[in-house]
């Protein structure tokens, strides 16, 4: 229940802000903006509360019994509202049992901008960690997206893709380029081999 108190607290805070802004004589446009902020804050608090409730059931915490069915229910509620951590938690839940569900939920988080999800999705496609048959071109797409969005671990894997020709033609110069930017110790080893 403590999660719901956060929702109520956020709603009350936003309501007070809306009320106070109206008392200060703000125009109709400002009131509409405040209403939109209130709705967004409530939505955010609700999805976080649903995510936390899902984790309660998944991990058996806060007095909740462990229940996969209840955990999935609450995580899906939050994930459907765009909660990235809930999407990733669902993906990890399905990791060993349902590769398609793993990819579905991880891709939703990746498309919302999570570079961690982008990297994990690339691994799912390229390393055979989740899917039985590698799809190197798709893995390369997600490694590239994660690297360009600042994921330091993706730099090594992008170099590896160019070195091995996984998803793209072999390009030693581009492999070196990405290995040089990576702080992964394996990148230094690969660079030493390429000299």
* Other residues' Cβ atoms within 10 Å of the Cβ of residue 77: 18
pLDDT at 20 over 60: no
pLDDT at 154 over 80: yes
Collapsing DSSP to helix, strand or coil, 130 comes out as coil
The whole-chain average pLDDT of the chain stands at 85
Lowest mean pLDDT segment, chosen from 15-29, 31-45, 133-147: 15-29
* Mean predicted confidence (pLDDT) in 100-108: 96
Tell me what pLDDT residue 1 has. Answer: 45
Composition of the chain by helix, strand, coil, percent to 5? 75, 0, 25
Which of 130, 133, 191, 192 is CA-nearest to residue 162? Answer: 191
Q: Model-level pTM?
A: 0.78
């Amino acid at each position: 229940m403590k999660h719901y108190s956060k929702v109520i607290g956020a709603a009350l805070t936003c309501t007070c802000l809306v009320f106070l802004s109206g008392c200060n004589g703000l125009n109709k446009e400002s009131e509409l903006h405040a209403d939109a902020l209130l709705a967004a804050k409530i939505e955010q608090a609700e999805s976080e509360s649903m995510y936390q409730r899902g984790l309660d059931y998944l991990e058996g915490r806060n007095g909740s019994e462990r229940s996969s069915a209840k955990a999935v229910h609450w995580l899906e509620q939050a994930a459907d509202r765009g909660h990235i951590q809930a999407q990733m938690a669902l993906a990890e839940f399905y990791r060993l049992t349902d590769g398609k569900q793993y990819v579905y939920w991880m891709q939703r988080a990746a498309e919302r901008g999570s570079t961690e999800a982008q990297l994990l999705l690339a691994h799912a496609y390229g390393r055979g960690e989740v899917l039985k048959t590698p799809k190197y071109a798709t893995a390369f797409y997600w490694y590239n997206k994660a690297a360009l969005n600042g994921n330091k671990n993706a730099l090594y894997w992008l170099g590896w893709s160019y070195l091995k020709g996984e998803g793209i033609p072999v390009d030693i110069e581009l492999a070196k380029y990405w290995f040089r930017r990576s702080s992964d110790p394996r990148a230094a080893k690969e660079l030493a081999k390429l000299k």
